[in-house]
Amino acid sequence: MTGETIAAIATAPGAGAVGIVRLSGPAAGRIGRALFGTGTLPEPRRATLRGFVDAQGEVIDQGLALWFPAPGSFTGEDLFELQGHGGARVLDRLLARVLELGARPARPGEFSQRAFLNGKLDLAQAEAIADLIQAATETQARLASRSLQGVFSRRVEALVERLTRLRALIEAGLDFPDEDLDDLGVGEADFATLVEACKTLLASTHQGELIRDGLLVVIAGAPNAGKSSLLNALAGSDAAIVTEIPGTTRDLLRAEIQIDGLPLRLVDTAGLRPSSDPVEQEGIRRARAQIEQADHLLVLIDDTAPGEQGTARAHLDELGLDPQVPVTILRNKIDCSARPAGLMTTAEGQTEIGCSALTGAGLDALRDHLKAVAGYRGASAGEFSARRRHVEALRNGLERLLEARAAWQATAAPELVAEDLRMAQQAFAEITGEVSSEALLGRIFSEFCIGK
């Protein structure tokens, strides 16, 4: 338990029927007693009607006080929840009084961080709290709730348990170097099941990450290819201005959509062409910077324009693009050309899609294609929410497991096998926060809102 008592308004700003001030730490009980103007604490975990008074004894507000003595609280510390009226000024006054009595303002996520440090939640569950609060789609909220309930953490723990058993057997061999390793009861199958279990969990975690973070899809191409029209057609709204005048889109235009629960952040960029107009030049600079950030690039080509029938590579060269991310070439305006709608494979083996941003032809094929290249299996395949750092930890761990298996197969020194297994375990332990650095915790909890 840390020495400081923290306090914050826990409800969203603005007027509401109820507003909550929360305080946690060793002085919570003393502050509560002073605030109620009584010498007594309410019965633990029972809603109790109290007046909250200022230094002069004047009632700031009247509401419910909930007292959670340590360790039976969210943070594991002494904790008060004061439910008053949800007005901005009244809550400010209530918080000011609590600070005057010795609490200090909580930093973002500090209540959850204390819950984690006191063993009330593991790190993946703490992250799930932030994900649940920030969920923009129903699927995101459902999966974050499952992670908060520990669905993901239990899967990680099961993997770690299996790994620990194997490690124990192999490390036992190190203690008795004369013993034949075969006699330890370790076999190829033990490594195979572990690797399989890790791959299965990695696949589920990747789905969870896709549903949480989605893909950044950047639309690029020459002026007038139909980029803004495509953004509007996919978003189902007039987010972007469409004109026949080339160079209309100067800045980045964004729209957020979902395909079967897969969130896509679409960005329409300025048309790429040589320009002497400084505003357009800046737009093109921003477009190129955004292209570098993309998870997937859609390069739009006007299929009716003369000289636009070249290969994908020729188009990318012409636009000065050499993207490091997956690219899909879209042949747009097929309502005015002879090309069929949908997916096709070029003579060079490149996937292209014929479409019309105007009529919507070929856009379903584009949606399916984006799901396929992301490896997205649909909202119903999501089991829990996850983040990129979880996927990376599992990938690192898997790599170590494969090395351990290879060392085992090559009958290398058991020390090497044991060391690889130890590193794999460490990678997995980063997910639940058994192994974590100050910097990682700082990064995770600073994303939270204040009061959580």
Go through the chain and tell me how many residues it has: 452
Total Cβ atoms within 10 A of residue 3:
7
Name 299's bridge partners: 220, 329
Radius of gyration of the chain (CA): 29
Q: At what angle do helices 438-446 and 123-134 cross, to 10 degrees?
A: 20
Instruction: Determine whether the annotation assigns residue 14 to a binding site.
Output: no
Candidate list 120, 206, 331, 333; residue touching ligand GDP; CB under 6 A:
333
Nearest to 358 by CA among 303, 319, 294: 303
Query: At closest approach, how far in Å is the CB of 355 from ligand GDP?
Result: 7
Residue 281 neighbours by CB under 8 Å, 6+ apart:
275
Tell me whether residue 244 or residue 438 sits nearer to ligand GDP (CB atom): 244
Q: Does 271 contact ligand GDP by CB under 6 A? A: yes
Q: Does 244 contact ligand GDP by CB under 6 A? A: yes
Candidate list 24, 75, 249, 432; residue touching ligand GDP; CB under 6 A:
249
Note whether 111 and 74 are within 8 A (CB).
Answer: yes
Tell me whether residue 358 or residue 423 sits nearer to ligand GDP (CB atom): 358
Q: Does 229 contact ligand GDP by CB under 6 A? A: yes
**221/203 Cα distance (integer angstroms):** 33
Query: At closest approach, how far in Å is the CB of 285 from ligand GDP?
Result: 17
* 203 token code pair: 């696949």
Q: Could you tell me which stretch among 243-251, 313-321, 378-386, 405-413 binds ligand GDP (CB under 6 A)? A: 243-251
Residue 18 neighbours by CB under 8 Å, 6+ apart:
11, 63, 83, 84, 85, 86
Q: Does 318 contact ligand GDP by CB under 6 A? A: no
Tell me whether residue 225 or residue 404 sits nearer to ligand GDP (CB atom): 225
* Bond before 71 cis per omega within 30 degrees: yes
Instruction: Determine whether the annotation assigns residue 227 to a binding site.
Output: yes
Q: Does 330 contact ligand GDP by CB under 6 A? A: no
Q: Does 387 contact ligand GDP by CB under 6 A? A: no
**Residue whose structure tokens are 């739009």:** 300
Candidate list 114, 227, 315, 387; residue touching ligand GDP; CB under 6 A:
227
Number of amino acids touching ligand GDP (CB under 6 A): 21
Total Cβ atoms within 10 A of residue 399:
15
Tell me whether residue 73 or residue 356 sits nearer to ligand GDP (CB atom): 356
Tell me whether residue 91 or residue 357 sits nearer to ligand GDP (CB atom): 357
Nearest to 16 by CA among 86, 64, 88, 93: 86
Name 124's bridge partners: none
Q: Does 226 contact ligand GDP by CB under 6 A? A: yes
Nearest to 297 by CA among 265, 319, 329, 342: 329
Q: Does 254 contact ligand GDP by CB under 6 A? A: no
Instruction: Determine whether the annotation assigns residue 153 to a binding site.
Output: no
Candidate list 156, 357, 374, 429; residue touching ligand GDP; CB under 6 A:
357
Consecutive H or E run containing 263: strand 262-268
Total Cβ atoms within 10 A of residue 421:
27
Instruction: Determine whether the annotation assigns residue 243 to a binding site.
Output: yes
Query: At closest approach, how far in Å is the CB of 224 from ligand GDP?
Result: 4
Helix, strand or coil for residue 70? coil
**205/99 Cα distance (integer angstroms):** 42
Name 416's bridge partners: none
Residues 137-176 that bind ligand GDP (CB under 6 A): none
Q: Does 250 contact ligand GDP by CB under 6 A? A: no
Q: Does 218 contact ligand GDP by CB under 6 A? A: no
Candidate list 69, 223, 323, 326; residue touching ligand GDP; CB under 6 A:
223
Q: Does 365 contact ligand GDP by CB under 6 A? A: no
Strand order in the sheet with 215-221: 253-259, 262-268, 215-221, 296-302, 327-332, 351-354, 342-345
Candidate list 83, 332, 425, 432; residue touching ligand GDP; CB under 6 A:
332
Residue 236 neighbours by CB under 8 Å, 6+ apart:
257
Instruction: Determine whether the annotation assigns residue 275 to a binding site.
Output: no
Q: Does 290 contact ligand GDP by CB under 6 A? A: no
Q: Could you tell me which stretch among 10-18, 170-178, 356-364, 395-403 binds ligand GDP (CB under 6 A)? A: 356-364
Candidate list 169, 195, 197, 242; residue touching ligand GDP; CB under 6 A:
242
Candidate list 149, 243, 409, 411; residue touching ligand GDP; CB under 6 A:
243
**Binding site members for Mg(2+):** 228, 249
Which residues are part of a known binding site for K(+)?
A: 224, 243, 245, 248
Residue ranges of the annotated binding site are 22, 81, 120, 224-229, 243-249, 268-271, 452
For ligand GDP, the binding residues (CB under 6 A) are 221, 223-229, 242-244, 248-249, 271, 332-333, 335-336, 356-358
Residues tagged in the binding site annotation for (6S)-5-formyl-5,6,7,8-tetrahydrofolate:
22, 81, 120, 452
